[in-house]
Amino acid sequence: MPGHRGRTKRRHSLESSVALPAESIRRRLERLERQNRWLRLGFLVLVLVVAYVVSDRLNLENAIVKQTLVESKELKLLDNDGNPRLFVRMYSRVPVMQVFDGTGKPRMSLGLRFDDTPFIDLSDARGRTRATFEMTPNDAPAVRLMDETGKTTFQIN
């Protein structure tokens, strides 16, 4: 059976020659996958380092300048036609905010009086004060209603 033995050897040789490239391909694939993992890890580290450097340069807390944005004795807001609609100002050494209607008449005032008591005044279309809500010097609320001449018609203290 010498011929039989030769066939077995050839078959074994054929199987090993097929197995050899498969094993080689498997090893190459494992090596490529390992390299790919390292490349991904390296890329991730690079992204993190770049993000750290950029975030340090763009640190908003260091970029924001903390300062008084507006300092003024008077602030005037105008409508689209250039008419004053709101004043915030010191009026005879006390702070006052006045709101004006479209014709330029004061309609509401809010502020402090000379004794530092707060007030809110509401005015009619002619700009005359008709209602006042205020705190008295002894911290009691007060409401006054006036007629068109300015005479008090109703008061609660």
Rounded to whole angstroms, the Cα distance separating 104 from 98 reads 11
Query: Which structural domain range is residue 30 located in?
Result: 2-63
Three-state secondary structure call for residue 50:
helix
Is residue 85 within 8 A of residue 99, CB to CB? The reply is yes
The dihedral formed by the CA atoms of 12, 17, 23 and 24, expressed in degrees to the nearest 10: 160
Q: Is residue 68 part of a domain?
A: no
Q: How many domains does the chain have?
A: 2
Is residue 127 within 8 A of residue 118, CB to CB? The reply is no
Global pTM exceeds 0.85: no
Three-state secondary structure call for residue 103:
coil
Is residue 123 within 8 A of residue 117, CB to CB? The reply is no
How does pLDDT run across 18-33, given as a tens digit for each residue? 566 888 888 888 888 8
How does pLDDT run across 143-156, given as a tens digit for each residue? 999 999 999 999 99
pLDDT at 96: 93
How does pLDDT run across 30-79, given as a tens digit for each residue? 888 888 888 888 888 888 888 777 776 666 556 566 666 777 888 899 99
Is residue 107 within 8 A of residue 99, CB to CB? The reply is yes
85/122 same-domain check: yes
Read off the CATH number of the domain in which 105 is found.
3.90.930.1
